[in-house]
Amino acid sequence: MNEIESLLTPEGELILQLAATRHDTNIFGDIYGGWLSAQLVTAAEIRAAQIANGRIATVSVGAIEFMSPVLVGTLLSFYTQVKETGNSSICIQVEVWGRCSDGSGFRKITDAETVQVALDSNGHIRQLPTH
């Protein structure tokens, strides 16, 4: 890890943490990017559902660029930061950080901006609650 990498720290609230397993690998034995992207969206949905006090749906996911491969056993931490809320929508930035299975090498893996909308019980868009 170089000096700049050691100064980087996650931004936002830790919302999800899980270990990458052999079941999540691509044909080369690295963690499959699609699986990691799905976990990123899950983290955003957890945070959005907390804000919406209920059901939400993902409307968009911004570009996802992977900064390094993820190996089996890496502990992945998903940090969320609410960027903006509208009448029914929530824009959330998600950062994914990983720590090697031996406890070393905490590093940023990727990040993306997501947008979710609040839904009612019939699946129609509804207003976010006012707090």
The pLDDT of residue 102? 83
Q: Over the range 14-28, which residues count as b (16 or more CB within 10 Å of their CB) and which as e?
A: ebbeeebeeebbeee
Residue 23 lies in a domain: yes
Say which CATH number the domain at 16 has.
3.10.129.10
The pLDDT of residue 130? 86
Computed from CA positions of residues 59, 9, 72, 16, in that sequence, does the dihedral angle turn out positive or negative?
Answer: negative
Residue 66 lies in a domain: yes
The pLDDT of residue 105? 84
The pLDDT of residue 3? 53
State how many domains the chain has. 1
Residue 125 lies in a domain: no
Residue 131 lies in a domain: no
- Cβ–Cβ contacts within 10 Å for residue 57, how many? 13
Q: How many residues does the chain have?
A: 131
Q: Whole-model pTM?
A: 0.90
Domain range spanning residue 106? 3-118
Per-residue pLDDT of the chain (131 residues; tens, 9 = 90+): 455 555 689 999 999 999 999 999 999 888 999 999 999 999 999 999 999 999 999 999 999 999 988 999 999 999 999 999 999 999 999 999 999 888 788 999 999 999 999 999 999 999 999 86
C-alpha–C-alpha distance, residues 126 and 2, integer Å: 47
Q: Are 12 and 81 within 8 A, CB to CB? A: yes
Residue 30 lies in a domain: yes
